[in-house]
């Protein structure tokens, strides 16, 4: 779907419909909207432009009459042609190439959410990040000012990432019970890139992979674009269902298990220690490698969670993924993978083929943030704020939702998993 960040001016001398006509005409003539580009439905487009549908209709009808747009029942309104399309007559249009791309687009609803979350006045709930007022602004400003003189170049770093940062992450992980050297750590641009590298580098097309249901991976078409097959494991209040995992693995061997055992996204569930031990024992016995996504661990609110699967792993079965995105902010784009050295070297080589390493500036900031203990200080204040917000949210739910839904009270993380008692119908056409 095309993005429109323009609105006609009500103070201009030209009528609104004429301004809309000229705007769309310019998009087509400049080849920004090429042949076959589909315009949003008229109701949605009128809302975007902040005009009445009748005003928009006049502009659309004139554009159709002048040959810029076409309208067919069931196909919507499309760009009929452009100078680019004429030049490339006989070849595939850009829109043909978009539809033939090896990588699938996000679901339309996900695209709409991604678009609307950046609109003024919107509170972003879909991305799982801290509210702007919880960003450690003053601490980071001082850190950046003091760190700047230590940075002597912006050149490429070694494939696994800045060594001082990997050393600090090694110390950081030791506090979680994970003993790993800097040589077993790869710096990545966030946890999502970690998952992409693992899937690209370690899996073959048509490999089968276990994921939890629900899971945010279900909304990301990238992983289906890699022609991976997903087997979904139902969730309990204590994490994934181990009996279902055992049954499915016995029926058909899978290549990997992806799990979020600590403050799961989106259910908020926390896997107890005994379940972690049982899960790890089964995976070791059946030789099923695990990707452990542990980005929410430090957001505990009541008491520290059980050790990560990686801390219990004595056979090198677990690839451990985490980041600073949930405690500082996703814009830093710093995460890491910890695992066996041969795997880490393989993934590092693949990352160098993708982007030649994460931002050196972000790596220096992250290294100093951990070295100076600022993460520990920040987390103490952050947990206090998150406890307060959890309490307020709980009060609102108890006041307004007791007859409509049931919910959990999470012990950490960002999410309260709400289950409606009665199904509701969502008219997607009304989502603008």
Domain endpoint, select from 78, 101, 124: 101
Instruction: Identify whether residues 312 and 225 lie together within a single domain.
Output: yes
Looking up tokens 């076409």, which residue turns up? Answer: 70
Please tell me which residue, 157 or 380, carries the higher pLDDT value: 380
- Is 346's pLDDT higher than 70? yes
Q: What's the distance, CA 233 to chain centroid?
A: 21
**Is the Cα dihedral 377, 381, 383, 384 positive or negative?**
positive
Cβ-proximal residues to 426 (8 Å cutoff; 6+ apart), any chain = none
Task: Choose the weakest-confidence range: 208-222, 278-292, 413-427.
Answer: 208-222
Domain annotation covers residue 419 = no
User: Could you list the residue range(s) of the whole structural domain that residue 74 is in?
Assistant: 16-101
Q: Return d(Cα 299, Cα 390) in angstroms, integer.
A: 12
pLDDT recorded at residue 88: 39
Q: Return d(Cα 221, Cα 290) in angstroms, integer.
A: 21
Instruction: Identify whether residues 195 and 286 lie together within a single domain.
Output: yes
Q: Return d(Cα 116, Cα 5) in angstroms, integer.
A: 11
- Is 102's pLDDT higher than 70? no
Domain annotation covers residue 412 = no
Instruction: Identify whether residues 94 and 144 lie together within a single domain.
Output: no
Domain annotation covers residue 77 = yes
Of the candidates 361, 370, 376, 340, the one whose C-alpha atom is nearest the C-alpha of residue 189 is: 361
Provide the CATH number for the domain around residue 65.
1.10.10.10
Q: Vertex 114, ends 125 and 36: CA angle to 5°?
A: 160
Domain annotation covers residue 424 = no
Alpha-carbon torsion, ordered 133, 139, 141, 147, to 10 deg: -150
How many distinct structural domains can be found in the chain? 2
Beta bridge partners of 290: 257, 318
Please tell me which residue, 84 or 128, carries the higher pLDDT value: 128
pLDDT recorded at residue 109: 63
The Cβ-side half-sphere exposure at 69, using a 13 Å CA radius, reads 24
Domain endpoint, select from 330, 345, 375: 375
Domain endpoint, select from 324, 350, 375: 375
Q: In the structure encoding, which two tokens stand for residue 400, read together?
A: 């307004």
Instruction: Identify whether residues 245 and 322 lie together within a single domain.
Output: yes
Task: Choose the weakest-confidence range: 1-5, 63-67, 266-270.
Answer: 1-5
- Is 181's pLDDT higher than 50? yes
Cβ-proximal residues to 124 (8 Å cutoff; 6+ apart), any chain = 117, 118
Give the total residue count for the chain: 432
Instruction: Identify whether residues 183 and 43 lie together within a single domain.
Output: no
3-state secondary structure the chain: CCCCCCCCCCCCCCCHHHHHHHHHHHHHHCCCCCCCCECCCHHHHHHHHCCCHHHHHHHHHHHHHCCCEEEECCCEEEECCCHHHHHCCCCCCHHHHHHCCCCCCCCHHHHHHHHHCCCCCCCCCCCCCCCHHHCCHHHHHHHHHHHHHHCCCCCCCCCCCCHHHHHHHHHHHHCCCCCCCHHHEEEECCHHHHHHHHHHHHCCCCCEEEEEECCHHHHCHHHHHCCCEEEEEEEECCEECHHHHHHHHHHCCCCEEEECCECCCCCCCECCHHHHHHHHHHHHHHCCCEEEECCCHHHECCCCCCCCHHHHCCCCCEEEEEECCCCCCHHHCCEEEECCHHHHHHHHHHHHHHCCCCCHHHHHHHHHHHHCCHHHHHHHHHHHHHHHHHHHHHHHHHHHCCCCEEECCCCECCCCCEEECCCCCCCHHHCC
**Is the Cα dihedral 79, 84, 89, 95 positive or negative?**
negative
Q: Residue 293 in contact with residue 321, Cβ under 8 Å?
A: yes
Q: In the structure encoding, which two tokens stand for residue 2, read together?
A: 């095309």
- Is 103's pLDDT higher than 80? no
Instruction: Identify whether residues 144 and 221 lie together within a single domain.
Output: yes
Domain annotation covers residue 107 = no
Domain annotation covers residue 27 = yes
Q: Residue 173 in contact with residue 338, Cβ under 8 Å?
A: yes
pLDDT recorded at residue 92: 47
Question: What is the average pLDDT score of the chain?
Answer: 86
Of the candidates 273, 308, 283, the one whose C-alpha atom is nearest the C-alpha of residue 294 is: 308
Which residue pairs from 281-286 have beta carbons closer than 8 angstroms and sit at least 24 positions apart in sequence? Answer: 282/242, 282/245, 282/246, 282/249, 283/257, 283/317, 284/315, 284/317, 286/249, 286/253
Query: Using one digit for the tens of pLDDT, what is the confidence trace for 262-277?
Result: 999 999 999 999 999 9
pLDDT recorded at residue 432: 39
pLDDT band at 224 (very low <50, low <70, confident <90, very high): confident
pLDDT band at 86 (very low <50, low <70, confident <90, very high): very low
- Is 429's pLDDT higher than 70? no
Instruction: Identify whether residues 358 and 213 lie together within a single domain.
Output: yes
pLDDT recorded at residue 68: 87
Domain annotation covers residue 74 = yes
pLDDT band at 147 (very low <50, low <70, confident <90, very high): confident
Instruction: Identify whether residues 69 and 165 lie together within a single domain.
Output: no
Q: Return d(Cα 86, Cα 39) in angstroms, integer.
A: 20
Provide the CATH number for the domain around residue 159.
3.40.640.10
Instruction: Identify whether residues 153 and 44 lie together within a single domain.
Output: no
Instruction: Identify whether residues 231 and 349 lie together within a single domain.
Output: yes
Instruction: Identify whether residues 213 and 87 lie together within a single domain.
Output: no
User: Terminal CA-to-CA distance of the chain, rounded, Å?
Assistant: 12
Percent above pLDDT 70 for the chain = 88
Domain annotation covers residue 1 = no
pLDDT recorded at residue 297: 96
Q: Residue 273 in contact with residue 307, Cβ under 8 Å?
A: yes
Task: Choose the weakest-confidence range: 40-54, 68-82, 265-279, 383-397.
Answer: 68-82
Instruction: Identify whether residues 345 and 216 lie together within a single domain.
Output: yes
pLDDT band at 320 (very low <50, low <70, confident <90, very high): very high
């Amino acid at each position: 779907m095309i993005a429109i960040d323009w609105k006609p001016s009500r103070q201009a001398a030209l009528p609104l419909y004429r301004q809309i006509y000229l705007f769309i005409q310019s998009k087509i003539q400049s080849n920004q909207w090429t042949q076959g580009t589909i315009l949003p439905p008229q109701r949605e487009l009128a809302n975007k432009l902040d005009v009445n549908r009748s005003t928009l209709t006049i502009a659309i009808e004139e554009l159709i009459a002048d040959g810029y747009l076409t309208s067919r029942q069931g196909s919507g309104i499309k760009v009929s042609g452009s100078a680019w399309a004429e030049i490339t007559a006989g070849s595939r249009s850009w829109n043909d190439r978009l539809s033939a791309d090896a990588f699938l687009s996000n679901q339309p609803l996900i695209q709409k959410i991604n678009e609307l979350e950046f609109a003024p006045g919107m509170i972003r709930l879909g991305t799982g990040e801290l509210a702007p007022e919880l960003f450690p602004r003053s601490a980071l400003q001082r850190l950046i000012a003091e760190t700047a003189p230590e940075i002597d170049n912006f050149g490429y770093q070694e494939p696994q990432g800045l060594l001082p940062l990997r050393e600090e992450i090694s110390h950081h992980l030791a506090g979680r019970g994970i003993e790993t050297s800097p040589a077993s750590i790869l710096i990545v641009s966030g946890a999502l890139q970690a998952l992409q590298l693992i899937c690209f580098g370690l899996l073959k097309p048509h490999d089968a992979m276990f994921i939890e249901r629900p899971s945010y991976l279900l909304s990301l078409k990238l992983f289906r674009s890699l022609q991976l097959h997903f087997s979904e494991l139902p969730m309990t209040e204590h994490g994934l269902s181990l009996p279902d995992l055992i049954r499915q693995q016995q029926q058909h061997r899978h290549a990997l298990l992806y799990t979020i055992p600590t403050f799961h996204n989106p259910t908020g569930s926390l896997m107890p220690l005994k379940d972690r031990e049982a899960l790890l024992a089964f995976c070791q016995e059946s030789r099923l490698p695990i990707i452990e996504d542990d980005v929410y661990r430090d957001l505990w609110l009541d008491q520290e969670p059980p050790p990560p699967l990686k801390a219990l792993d004595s056979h090198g079965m677990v690839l451990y993924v985490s980041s600073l995105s949930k405690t500082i902010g996703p814009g830093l784009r710093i995460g890491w993978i910890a695992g066996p050295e041969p795997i880490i070297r393989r993934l590092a080589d693949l990352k160098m083929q993708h982007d030649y390493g994460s931002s050196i500036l972000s790596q220096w900031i992250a290294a100093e943030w951990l070295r100076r203990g600022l993460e520990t200080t920040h987390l103490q204040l952050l947990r206090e704020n998150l406890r307060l917000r959890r309490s307020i949210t709980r009060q609102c739910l108890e006041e307004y939702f007791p007859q409509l839904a049931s919910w959990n009270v999470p012990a950490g993380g960002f999410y309260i998993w709400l289950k409606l008692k009665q199904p509701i119908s969502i008219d997607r056409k009304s989502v603008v």
